[in-house]
Structure 1
Amino acid sequence: MFGEPMVSWHAHMPAGMLLKSTPVASNIDAPQRGHTLVDYCDAAGLPRLITDEDIIPVETFVGYGQWFQQKLVPGLERVRVVSVDQRPAGGFEVKLDSGEQFAARAVVVATGLSGLARLPRELAAAAPDGPSPAGPVSHSAQHHDLTRYAGQELLVVGAGQSALETAVLAAEAGARVRVVARGRRSVAFGGPPWEQPKLRPESPFGHAWSLYAISYYAQAYRHLPAATRHFLTRRILGPLGAWWLRERFEGKVEAREVRRVASASTREGRPVLTVETLGGRPQELTADHIIAATGYRVDLAALSFLGHGLRARLAVSRGTPKLGPGYASSVPGLYFTGMLAGSSYGPVMRFVCGTEFASPRLARHLAGVYRG
């Protein structure tokens, strides 16, 4: 086990963020009782987070993950893996940034969102040196402290929870914020828990047959046609603001719904966003900075620690690994889980509660193949 626990959450999420996920959808799976979010709250002397109406501060969730690691994975080494390559005799050669090098019979890649931030090419044109909070364009994953934009004009591109919450937090920090979202009525918020339809099956994500199916029958997902799997992964649990965010958004943040974002450029040091309005007219929007809250995309090419030869031997589907039973890839001994497994096992893999499905199956497969 190598890596920095909860790094995506404590380094790449904005301070003051609240999780959209409910408490029941935020438990990390463990093989024994006593390690849920509620257990952590009890141990830390925090208010218990139990019902769907309880909202989880990101600081609480980071503390929960670190507590979980300290109790159950004390041997975690806080070093970075710089390369994984196949060995001629079988297995893998693993190198760490500490300089250590060793052989492994199996490797599990569980790197979460790291390196997968998506910047559309229309916006990338205004950031030739890459997205940066100090440049004209950045990605929402690059912001922990939004107070740096106090008194400035911001454009936030996107319509999901990340875009809407980033916009709210920036506005509350003193920025003048406009959200630019593609499509009519694209800026929307979910209903509160007490308005959920009670006649539909319950899942960690709400009451709906589709949500129930992806939560509890993910094993069937990988047998769907590839086009169907990729479509469902994009569409199910798509962009939608949390119910509790609406009051903080409306009247404080301007929403500009457009047909499409055509391009981004800079003029006299300021970014300029060219959009096509819903009526089909081109329009320029200027600001001091653009934040692309455009989500994440699984692309094995972004996992630079995997050797080129190893990546070339992996069976992929639209840049994502094709996984079989137990989250095994086409390369014997190489496994992927978390968001990296989403195109094979469904949208539930993007969420913490997906560990309840994934972890025991992956562990059983590993134990069955490598026991002894």
Structure 2
Amino acid sequence: MYDLLVVGAGPYGLSIASHAAAAGLSLRVLGRPMASWRDHMPRGMFLKSEPWASSLSDPQGRWRLETYCAGRGVAARHGEPVPVELFASYGLWFARNAVPGVDERMAVRVRACPGGFEALVDDGEVLRARTVVLAVGVMPFAEVPAALDGLGPEQVSHSSDHSSLSRFRGRDVTVIGGGQAALETAALLCEQGTRARVLVRADRLRWNDEPPARERPWYRSARAPHSGLGCGWRNWFYAERPGLFRRLPEPTRARIAATALGPAGAWWVRDRVEPVVEVMLGHEVTSAYASGIDVRLETVDRDGTPMCLETDHVIAATGFRARRERLGLLDDDLRVRLAAGPDGPPEIGRDFESSVPGLFMAGLITASAFGPAMRFVQGAGFTADMLVRGVRRRLRTGPAGGRVPAPGERRRQGPDLRLGARR
């Protein structure tokens, strides 16, 4: 039985595994490294975050993005967006160097068992661990407007469904949403010869400002410090003090998690959108249905005026909503044991442990507890450090109050605790 089973091998899962390995825990990591970035983002996209805020976390800070770029003669400069392909390659490099023994099989079910948890793997093997962390990223939480429920996969998709947009060349596509995913998707569509429009519920688009120079006079930095989430003291607080964020009243945390850093386009995509993409502001889809090979969308504007348009395909770039019910990986009995807050996600303790002892969470699903940083790579370092401390604490106390020997004690007793050793 392992000390820790990490389910998910994205930035959070890999960072947690790196910290856990350095702490001497026996662990197993399940999942294809950087799968979301490799399989669910079209080529040609860029990271919205700055290069210096986009590194995965290892305890010694040896495997940072700028180190990877420097070793390949690639610039990683402030104010220059990082291509998704480069970031995915960096994540694979991090996995090889900081997390030995990643198991690329997929967990299909996790349930409680005596002494901890067991995970059924896609080839039928069952792995057991005293503690488990779900670092499943955003894919289980894709949000599609209910008005589109009547359409099939040929008519509607989520923006995260695509690693390539080439199937839409020469067609007519309507993108719903006003954030970065919607705007960059529409830009890529137009650049390949697709007729694309963006349907936005708000009455205007929001664009992020170009960031100021990294090195500035002290008085300008004091007025609006840089952070991994953008300039300004509020963003600095979200990025640098997630532990303090958790001490805010629960309604305040929920409101900030839902509204802070809302839909906006990066400054560098604006010139690719405004000249070529049709933008329909103040429109909300009320219903949608197939009309022959086309899709008919019925919308209403801010004045209540209805409108109808036809398109070949709808891409919902409408983000992600973390809810307990969408954790389909968990056995039903285990999922219903999770206490959930009023906005849907499970309640998370100070060290990322859920209400089920030994079951930890990481990433987007913890944003209501620790703030907006958990929606970005920026939050991986804090999460990995605090979560591994929590795992070690749980291993000392045991899942039901009974004491489980600490890693160092078991090592003296002799069982094989090598990273990746089969159980």
- State the TM-score, normalizing by the size of structure 1: 0.94
Residues 154 and 287 in structure 1, CA contact (< 8 A), matched pair in contact too: yes
1:315-356 CA distance string (max 9 Å, x none): 111321111121011111000011121111111001111012
* Unaligned segments of structure 2, at least 5 residues: 1-28, 215-219, 396-405, 408-423
Shift of residue 90 of structure 1? 3.1
Residues 258 and 275 in structure 1, CA contact (< 8 A), matched pair in contact too: no
1:214 counterpart (231, 235, 238)? 238
**Match of residue 93 from structure 1:** 118
1:303/1:46 Cα in 2 relative to 1: closer, same or farther (>3 Å)? farther
1:184 counterpart (185, 203, 211)? 203
Verify: 1:229 aligned to 2:229, yes or no: no
2:62 counterpart (4, 24, 34)? 34
2:138 counterpart (113, 136, 154)? 113
Between 234-243 and 255-264, the greater mean CA deviation after superposition: 255-264
**Match of residue 58 from structure 1:** 84
1:11/1:254 Cα in 2 relative to 1: closer, same or farther (>3 Å)? same
Measured in 1, the distance between the counterparts of 2:163 and 2:340 equals 33
**Match of residue 212 from structure 2:** 194
Shift of residue 259 of structure 1? 4.3
Q: How many residue pairs are counted as aligned between the two chains? A: 362
**Match of residue 74 from structure 2:** 47
1:168 counterpart (182, 187, 205)? 187
Measured in 1, the distance between the counterparts of 2:232 and 2:359 equals 34
Shift of residue 290 of structure 1? 0.7
Measured in 1, the distance between the counterparts of 2:73 and 2:181 equals 26
SS of 1:342's partner is helix
Shift of residue 83 of structure 1? 1.2
Residues 257 and 278 in structure 1, CA contact (< 8 A), matched pair in contact too: no
Measured in 2, the distance between the counterparts of 1:168 and 1:112 equals 25
Measured in 1, the distance between the counterparts of 2:246 and 2:278 equals 41
**Which has the higher Rg, Structure 1 or Structure 2?**
2
**Match of residue 263 from structure 1:** 287
Measured in 2, the distance between the counterparts of 1:210 and 1:284 equals 41
Measured in 2, the distance between the counterparts of 1:14 and 1:218 equals 31
Measured in 1, the distance between the counterparts of 2:162 and 2:111 equals 33
Verify: 1:323 aligned to 2:348, yes or no: yes
2:163 counterpart (119, 144, 152)? 144
Residues 142 and 319 in structure 2, CA contact (< 8 A), matched pair in contact too: yes
1:308 counterpart (305, 324, 332)? 332
**Match of residue 4 from structure 2:** none
Shift of residue 99 of structure 1? 1.4
Identity over aligned residues, as a percent?
A: 39
1:70/1:137 Cα in 2 relative to 1: closer, same or farther (>3 Å)? same
Measured in 1, the distance between the counterparts of 2:263 and 2:213 equals 19
Residues 108 and 337 in structure 1, CA contact (< 8 A), matched pair in contact too: yes
SS of 2:256's partner is helix
**Match of residue 262 from structure 2:** 238
Measured in 2, the distance between the counterparts of 1:125 and 1:234 equals 27
Amino acid at match of 2:209: G
SS of 1:295's partner is coil
SS of 1:284's partner is strand
**Match of residue 9 from structure 2:** none
**Match of residue 297 from structure 1:** 321
Measured in 2, the distance between the counterparts of 1:208 and 1:268 equals 51
Shift of residue 367 of structure 1? 1.8
**Match of residue 20 from structure 2:** none
Residues 246 and 350 in structure 2, CA contact (< 8 A), matched pair in contact too: no
Shift of residue 195 of structure 1? 8.4
1:23 counterpart (51, 59, 62)? 51
Moved over 6 A (4+): none
RMSD: 1.5
2:390 counterpart (359, 365, 369)? 365
Measured in 1, the distance between the counterparts of 2:98 and 2:174 equals 42
Residues 183 and 198 in structure 2, CA contact (< 8 A), matched pair in contact too: yes
* Unaligned segments of structure 1, at least 5 residues: none
Shift of residue 243 of structure 1? 0.5
Residues 25 and 351 in structure 1, CA contact (< 8 A), matched pair in contact too: no
1:229-276 CA distance string (max 9 Å, x none): 221112111111000001111111010012422111121221111111
Residues 84 and 306 in structure 1, CA contact (< 8 A), matched pair in contact too: yes
